[in-house]
Chains A and B, each alone.
Chain A
Amino acid sequence: MSGFDIFVIILVLLAILTLFAGVKTVSQGYNWTIERFGRYTRTLHPGLNLIIPFFDRVGRKINIMEQVIDVPQQEVITKDNATITVDGVAFFQVFDAAKASYEVANLNQAIVTLTMTNIRSVMGSMDLDQVLSHRDEINERLLRVVDAAVSPWGVKVNRIEIKDIVPPTDLVEAMARQMKAERVKRADILQAEGQRQSEILRAEGEKQAQILQAEGRREAAFRDAEARERAAEAEAKATQMVSEAIGKGDVSALNYFIADRYIKAFGEIARSPNQKIVMLPIEATSVLGSLAGISEIAKATFGGEGAGVASAARRSSGTVPNAGGPPQAG
Chain B
Amino acid sequence: MSVVTNTTTIGAIELPSRRNTELMLLGFAVVIPIFAYANVGLAIDGKLPPGMVVYGLALAVVAGIAHLVVRRFAKYADPLLLPLGILLNGLGLVLIWRLDQSVRLQNLAKRAYGGFSESAPNQMIYTALGIALFCGVLLVLKDHRTLQRFTYISMAVALVLLILPIVPGLGADVFGAKIWIRVGGFSIQPGEFAKIVLAVFFAGYLMVKRDALALASRRFMGLYLPRGRDLGPILMIWAMSLLILIFENDLGTSLLFFGMFVIMLYVATERTSWIVIGLLMSVGGAVVVASFSGHVGARVAAWTDPFGCWERGGLDAGACEQIAQSIMSFGSGGVLGAGWGQGNSDLIGFAANSDFIFSTVGEELGLAGVMAFLMVYGLIIERGVRTALAARDPFGKLFAIGLSGAFALQIFVVAGGVMGLIPLTGMTMPFLASGGSSVLANWALIGILIRISDTARRPAPAPAPSPDSEMTQVVRPS
Same complex origin of A and B:
no
